[in-house]
Structure 1
């Protein structure tokens, strides 16, 4: 019986040690995937604070609008304005874990804020109503509920930056990372033209490459 007990103890030690090594490796691998986001000047981007965002290749910026083709819209839409280098103020907020700085690969919500003199009572969170549908339902608009599958996004480092001197990023829509969304893959967000207006949507093209700009006080 003694040899049996001895080998059993060895087996337990081996199992516990192996499991500890696996957990350590897995935790470090997960941590390595998360990187603190930086703005155009190289400073860390604050979580839950407003920033301007601008595409790297097309120029201009993104902003919130209540008018498309001279028609009022509610909820509001997020559009690209090639003539505006400042753009709107957008707040990126990680949903499950509050930290000082924004990190890549974390589920987050993007708040557009409220336009002045608006009469629309919908929420201002970026929303994709149906990731399986075609435009306009796969376009980024607003009106969703915080921490739901429609408003769930992630920021990732851009795989092949256009400008190596600038920290650039891409967006993904990740329904399964928030709320009760189905277990599915994340979808890259691209710039697309819909009825003559540049918008952000799930279209399967090259991911939208953008940079963060700190808002001047």
Structure 2
């Protein structure tokens, strides 16, 4: 090969290598998909039960009444282990082909069962309860429309060792100051209510 042809080939090789490097560096690695009890990826719009990992400590997640309200609005754990709770669906902040639900990604959580009250079944973080000194998870949230006005409606599923936990730490508003805490169980009037906690509620997901 003469020197002129060698320079052309070298130029093409360097150009191709640079293009490849740019693509590799620019590609964003997606978080891992969340998997259910059968090892299948969780998907948007499919109904699941949220169940406790620990046995003998109550059942799945459901809607419960509170002492000061006639309409059941509290997100809580069923008191009996054999109860799966109510089915739920997940909606990520950005849908993707395949509809995967990914770890550490903002999402709405919504009970798919009808409510007895004229109220949304989307989860939200309620205002601070001064008497209990807690932030509780309730229904009545808004689905979609990410931003400052819906900041309380976004949750995440994070890894906890080899299992999962629920987290409130929304990133749908770049300039908002938010609380970042695990979602745990708070006992109130005999109910196992979901609330922000230093002790996570470790969970698994069962397809309905």
TM-score range, shorter chain: 0.7 to 0.9
CA contact under 8 A between 1:123 and 1:145: conserved in structure 2?
yes
1:86 aligns with 2:84: yes
Q: TM-score, normalised by structure 2?
A: 0.74
Structure 1: give runs of 5+ residues left out of the alignment.
Answer: 1-12, 162-167
* 1:148-177 deviation digits (Å, cap 9, x = unpaired): 111111111222x4xxxxxx31111123x2
Aligned partners of 1:131, 1:178: CA distance in 2, in Å? 21
1:9 corresponds to: none
2:147 corresponds to: none
Superposition RMSD in Å: 3.2
1:209 aligns with 2:202: yes
Aligned partners of 1:156, 1:136: CA distance in 2, in Å? 25
1:42 aligns with 2:39: yes
Aligned partners of 2:130, 2:158: CA distance in 1, in Å? 24
Select which of 167, 176, 180 maps to 1:182.
Answer: 176
1:144 aligns with 2:141: yes
* 1:31-69 deviation digits (Å, cap 9, x = unpaired): 2xx11111111112111221011111134211123x335
Structure 2: give runs of 5+ residues left out of the alignment.
Answer: 1-13, 145-149
1:196 aligns with 2:198: no
* 1:122-148 deviation digits (Å, cap 9, x = unpaired): 211101023797747611101122241
Aligned partners of 1:190, 1:45: CA distance in 2, in Å? 21
CA contact under 8 A between 2:33 and 2:101: conserved in structure 1?
yes
1:105 corresponds to: 104
- The SS at the match of 1:202 is strand
